[in-house]
Amino acid sequence: MVDMCRRCKYPRKKTGRPKREEGLSDALYKALGEAIRSRRESLGVSQSSLARRIGSARTTVTNIEAGGQSIMIHQLVDIARALRMPVTEFLNEIEGFENEHQEELIDPKMETLLMKLTSPVKAKRT
C-alpha cells in the first residue's frame, strides 16, 4: 500500500538513507558493542540503568550493543565512565578484531604499489 499525503492526496516520497552493505565498519561496531555488553553484564548493570547514566534511551544502548548504531566518541567516553572502565580498554578489547580483519584491509596490488613508492630512491652519480 502506498503512503498518501493527507493534505494533497499524492503519494509520499520515500525518505531515509539507503541501506548500506555490511562491511568492515559494521563488524567493528559489532565488536565494540560486544565489548560494551560484556563489561555491562560483568558489573550486573541493566541496559536501562546504563542508559540513564549516559543520558540516552535504552534502545540506544540496545542498538549500540548490537552494532546497529554508530557510536560517537563522546558516547563512548560516557559509556566508559558509567562502566568504570578506561576508554582505551574498549579499544584494546577490539584490537584482536582488528588483527583478524587485517587481511581485508590489505589489497596486494596496493601494497606492492606502496612498497615501490616508499622504497628509498638511489641517487644516480654523474
- Determine the pLDDT at residue 36: 94
**pTM summary value:** 0.60
* Each residue's pLDDT expressed in tens, for the chain with a length of 126 residues: 556 656 666 666 655 554 545 566 778 888 899 999 999 999 999 999 999 999 999 999 999 999 888 888 899 999 999 999 998 888 887 766 555 545 555 567 777 777 777 766 665 665
Is the Cα dihedral 113, 116, 119, 123 positive or negative? negative
CATH superfamily of 24-118: lambda repressor-like DNA-binding domains (1.10.260.40)
- Determine the pLDDT at residue 126: 59
What whole-number distance in Å separates Cα of residue 95 and Cα of residue 108?
22
User: Would you state the cell numbers that stand for residue 79, as one nine-digit string?
Assistant: 559509556
- Determine the pLDDT at residue 18: 47
3 state DSSP class of 70: coil
Q: What are the extents of the domains in the chain?
A: 24-118
- Determine the pLDDT at residue 2: 57
